[in-house]
Amino acid sequence: MNNIGNFVELKKSGKIWAIGSIHSSLKSFDSIKKYILKNFDYGDKLVFLGNIIGLGDSPKETLSSVIDLRFNLMSKFKIKPDSIVFLRGAQEEMFSKLLQLQLAPNPREIVDWMFEHGVNKTIKSYGFSENEVRNIASSGTINISKWTSNLNRILQMNPGHTQYFLNLKHAAYSHTKKILFVNRGVDITRPLSAQNDCFWWGYQNFSKIDEPYKTFVRIVRGYESKHTNHLKVSKNKVVCTLFKQPLSNNSILCGVFTENGEILDLFENN
């Protein structure tokens, strides 16, 4: 695993903005986008905590809107590309595996499982039906390879989409090593370099952590599977979760933090 390329150190940050799982909620994200464009400042950093796509009805359009926000912030504030970080969530992990479906030992089973977990919405937004993909997954390696090549071509037709999937990170942290950003969780018994896929599939009882992990006094994550209807965040706890269920509410939770882990603001789309 190329650990150097998997992590981003946020250096000399003003405020650090973090956006929880969006799950293709375009209208909700556009509300967040307007707020950030109005309140972002020089020296600020922005971290998307994964799961931009999947589950909702507008994955392709949402990703394009996210990429547009990145472009606008870079242009307006003259910031470097590594000041805006995209983390890999479960939805991005599954879609990336789908782009290499021809390598899978049991492609039809994998497609069925992915579709049960929301990837079908992303595929549909790029112009494919569920039945079409299921049939292709059962038709042999050559046909699957042709289809994945076609899917990659379609991604390239949407500015920034291919680059997005190629540049996803596992985690980000401040240069002070006081605040850590992840998609879903970490195994506190392991160093960051040995987390494997805990970042996006989670770790048991992670939400109950009440002591710092290594030097990190704050861990900010963008997804949890528990179905709660309120923002479970405490300024006295290590874990800050920027996500709430049910998904049907189309809520996107965001936070603003200092590089030492303090919570400056918590908000959601209007």
By residue count, the chain amounts to 270
Strand partners, 216: 213
> Where in the sequence is the domain holding 255, given as residue range(s)?
3-87+171-268
What is the spatial distance between Cα 48 and Cα 221, in angstroms, rounded to a whole number? 10
**Residues 223-234: pLDDT tens digits?**
998 755 445 555
Q: Are residues 102 and 229 in the same domain?
A: no
**Residues 77-94: pLDDT tens digits?**
999 889 999 999 999 999
Does 166 map to a domain?
A: no
Report whether pLDDT(257) > 50: yes
The answer to whether residues 173 and 180 touch, using CB atoms and an 8 Å cutoff, is: yes
**Residues 105-130: pLDDT tens digits?**
999 999 999 999 999 999 999 999 99
Q: Are residues 154 and 177 in the same domain?
A: no
Report whether pLDDT(199) > 90: yes
Nearest to 73 by CA among 46, 113, 110: 46
pLDDT of 4 reads: 57
Q: Are residues 252 and 137 in the same domain?
A: no
Does 258 map to a domain?
A: yes
pLDDT of 1 reads: 29
**Residues 159-179: pLDDT tens digits?**
999 999 999 999 999 999 999
| pLDDT, mean of residues 180-201 | 94
pLDDT averaged over the chain? 92
pTM for the model stands at: 0.94
Q: Are residues 221 and 261 in the same domain?
A: yes
Q: Are residues 210 and 191 in the same domain?
A: yes
